[in-house]
Amino acid sequence: MYDLAAINYYLPLLRSSSVQWLSDRMWWISVTPKAHQSIEIDDIHEVLAGGTPPEVRQEDGYELPITLHCPIVAFFVHRSAGDGTVSILNLSSESTSLRGYCRALSSGASVLGIEWGGKTWEAITYAEDGDIVAHFPEGFSRELAGGTNPEALSQELQFIHQFSEDAPAGVVAQKAAALAILEARSGLRITEEWLNSTHEVVYVDVPVGDGDSAHSGAIASQPTIPNSPDAWPHSKKCGLLLWIIDLLVTKFGFEWPEISEARSAYGSGHVPEEALHTEVMDRTLRLGRDWLEATNEYESSAANSEFMRLRWRAGIAIRVALREIEQSDPKLSSLQLAKEALGMEWPTVQQHILNL
DSSP code per residue over 227-254: S-GGGS-HHHHHHHHHHHHHHHHHHHT-
Q: Is 279's pLDDT higher than 60?
A: yes
Q: Looking at residue 261, what is its pLDDT? A: 94
Contact call for residues 337 and 248 (beta carbons, < 8 A)? no
> Where does the pLDDT of residue 207 fall: very low under 50, low under 70, confident under 90, or very high at 90 and above?
confident
* Residues 41-73: tens digit of each pLDDT: 999 999 998 888 889 988 887 666 555 456 678
* Residues 3-51: tens digit of each pLDDT: 899 999 999 999 988 887 788 889 999 999 988 788 889 999 999 988 8
How far apart CA 164 and CA 158 sit, in angstroms, is 11
* Residues 89-108: tens digit of each pLDDT: 987 766 678 999 999 999 99
Question: How far, CA to CA in Å, does 65 sit from each of 73, 238, 273, 276, 311?
Answer: 10, 34, 25, 21, 22
How far apart CA 226 and CA 56 sit, in angstroms, is 34
How far apart CA 100 and CA 127 sit, in angstroms, is 10
* Residues 230-239: tens digit of each pLDDT: 778 888 899 9
Q: Is 216's pLDDT higher than 50?
A: no
Give the residue extent of every domain in the chain.
4-204, 229-355
Q: What percent of the chain has pLDDT over 70?
A: 88
Q: Looking at residue 272, what is its pLDDT? A: 92
